[in-house]
Amino acid sequence: MTIFQATGRVLLTFINYLGQLGLLTREIFYSLTKGQKRWRKMWEQVAEIGARSQIVVGVTGAFTGAVLAAQTLFQFKLFGLETAAGGLVSVAMLRELGPTITGLMMAGRVGSAMAAEIGTMKVTEQIDALRSMAVNPVDYLVTPRFLAMLISVPLLIAESAALGMIASYIVGVGVFHVESSYWIDNMKSYVDLTDPTIALIKGLFFGVLIVIISCDQGLKVKNGAVGVGRGTTQAMVYSSLAILVVNFFLTLIMQIIFPASLFSN
């Protein structure tokens, strides 16, 4: 096999996979517009996805903000710029680290759980049983999770970013003895409404990526327990990669739409 054949095969496999995701996305939007609404299952998923993810997301966000503040202050201290660290850390947490870290944690915790649950139902023929009872599996399994992710992920990102900013303040003021008023003034100067807006927009995109990729992996599981394990792993890996790639392009687009306040002030 030549390198061109190998490259072509990989490219065709990738295009085929994107087509599968596109078909599932079409089914979800058809379900949202014309399918049966299962609000109770949606709120159950909000509790499972959102409420039970708060601890892991909160701890991750807090320590990410803390270590970012520490590393920033280690370097800024060399140039006497400690007071500027508050603005830099806050913008970074809102625009990049809060959304990305939270998305990756959700891909690992929620995405893998979705793939495992739906995959287990697939191999035990519970999905076939739903179809035999005239219940659309997308209506019943995917759409409630889709709506729950749209609600939960932006809120979790807001929580993660807020805790990261609080933790950075504690590190800057309590450990590095930066004047509290200077830290807060810099945060106010460099952070505006565009920063949380970007975080929430990214949260919506990341939530959609996680639920579509994970549910797709679950719905096409084969070969029993081995297939469930493989689908779970692929859901986490593919979701994480998609978040990192899409985040890069979203950052470029958002920079054009919302210029970074840190450099525009």
Averaged pLDDT score across all residues of the chain = 88
Q: Tens digit of pLDDT for each residue in 96-140?
A: 999 999 999 999 989 999 999 999 988 888 888 888 888 888 888
**Could you state, in order of their start, the residue ranges of all structural domains in the chain?**
51-264
Provide the pLDDT for residue 9.
84
- Residue whose C-alpha is closest to residue 109's, from 59, 64, 63: 59
Query: Does residue 265 register a pLDDT over 80?
Result: no
Region 38-56: what's the mean pLDDT? 89
- Residue whose C-alpha is closest to residue 238's, from 123, 104, 144, 97: 104
Query: Does residue 93 register a pLDDT over 60?
Result: yes
| 28: enclosing H helix or E strand | helix 3-34
- Residue whose C-alpha is closest to residue 28's, from 239, 232, 238, 211: 211
> What pTM was computed for the model?
0.88
